[in-house]
Structure 1
């Protein structure tokens, strides 16, 4: 009995260690992606390129290209090479930096910095919750995904309605959705690490880390954009 108990403890420790290593890889790639996005966004805005982008059709092309990269990466992750997956993720982060340069044109630098730190604090708190909670968040993930679809549809509708009330409602609901998705995604990534991805070879680890990083990157960026609506100080 004691031998079996010790074996269980050892197995549990091994799973936790594997999960910790995998999570570190995911967060490292997420941080790299955010760093690339931030640097490119700042450079594009400060160099004057952002003002030129927003006036031409290239801005729409960039947005379409970003969506295409995300869909392609998600759909083909099992078939593409790890290096290709990594390159696509970094390419997406770079393209996102170009489009997010518009943020520097619309809001003051100090309000952007303040919102970034608020976002980092909220993201970090929910990431910790996702790691330590014993509650299964998988059911919440389905609910949050439906909510995400809802705010996307509402945002499109509001382009035509131009309702300030709907705009603020979408922003507030969006904050709650991306806060919840952060906890859900971190728990899901933790389970992937525990379930043996670290034993599947370097290629599977790299692709898994890239997809996990993409999910958390999107959570962070979208939470930041939603909070910016509340805390961002307009330049106008």
Structure 2
């Protein structure tokens, strides 16, 4: 039975999308190794990580520097190297949060709960984005606006130090970046993102921020000896 050129092109396009999605998931899994190494080194060697508004601004500046470098090198193997370097840096930046959490008698349990919760959120939403017929592309501009508001709220609360606002920021951040998983995975599935390094970067940031804020929320239930 013969197939039309259109069917052949469609099959080829689907194969490319599946390959990009598969490579993205593999690289995302690989990126967790330097993240864990960076976090472990940060906690073990008490690497000083700036906190407060100065730390937040420095974190944003260094993160955007890495992101710029990743985008510039994403068409070569160097892009993978820079991406893994970025994930190592992100692991180190978890040091204050992890050290504070491990100060609780149930700190290890809280970290595993945050990890399990993040993995569950990703698995469910990535599956939904893969099989759903609903178009999530329209969420993009609203999610970006939400991130801008989130950054401004975070900066403002470094001055106001309102616990209720910190709580709200964490809850909203988890919601926004959970929605970003839907958006980012569907972009790959629909062919909107064809570079697996860029795709991995987007999903890594989604997962990292969800984990960070979920652990912050769970830390409110930390137990002292």
TM-score exceeds 0.5: yes
CA distance in 2, matches of 1:227, 1:99: 16
Tell me, what secondary structure is at the counterpart of 1:53?
coil
Find out whether 1:136 has 2:135 as its counterpart. Answer: yes
2:104 matched to which residue of 1?
A: none
CA distance in 2, matches of 1:177, 1:84: 30
Instruction: Name the count of aligned residue pairs.
Output: 214
Matches within 5 A, 1:11-50: 11-45=9-43, 47=44, 49-50=45-46
1:167 matched to which residue of 2?
A: 166
CA distance in 1, matches of 2:201, 2:124: 19
1:70 aligned residue (60, 67, 71): 67
TM-score by length of 2: 0.84
Counterparts in 2 of 1:87 and 1:15: CA distance versus 1, 3 Å? same
CA distance in 1, matches of 2:137, 2:75: 29
Ranges in structure 1 where 5+ consecutive residues have no aligned partner: 198-207
Superposition CA RMSD, Å: 2.6
Tell me, what secondary structure is at the counterpart of 2:143?
helix
Instruction: Tell me which of the two structures has the higher relative contact order, counting C-alpha pairs closer than 8 angstroms and 6 or more residues apart.
Output: 1
Alpha-carbon displacement from aligned partner over 1:14-38 (angstroms, at most 9, x marks no partner): 3323211111101111111122101
Alpha-carbon displacement from aligned partner over 1:209-235 (angstroms, at most 9, x marks no partner): 111101000000001112112223547
Which one has a larger percent helix, Structure 1 or Structure 2? 1
2:199 matched to which residue of 1?
A: 212
Tell me, what secondary structure is at the counterpart of 2:116?
helix
CA distance in 2, matches of 1:115, 1:38: 14
Ranges in structure 2 where 5+ consecutive residues have no aligned partner: 102-106
Tell me, what secondary structure is at the counterpart of 1:111?
helix
Measure how far apart 1:81 and its partner are: 5.4
Higher mean alpha-carbon deviation, 95-104 vs 137-146, is at 95-104
2:189 matched to which residue of 1?
A: 190
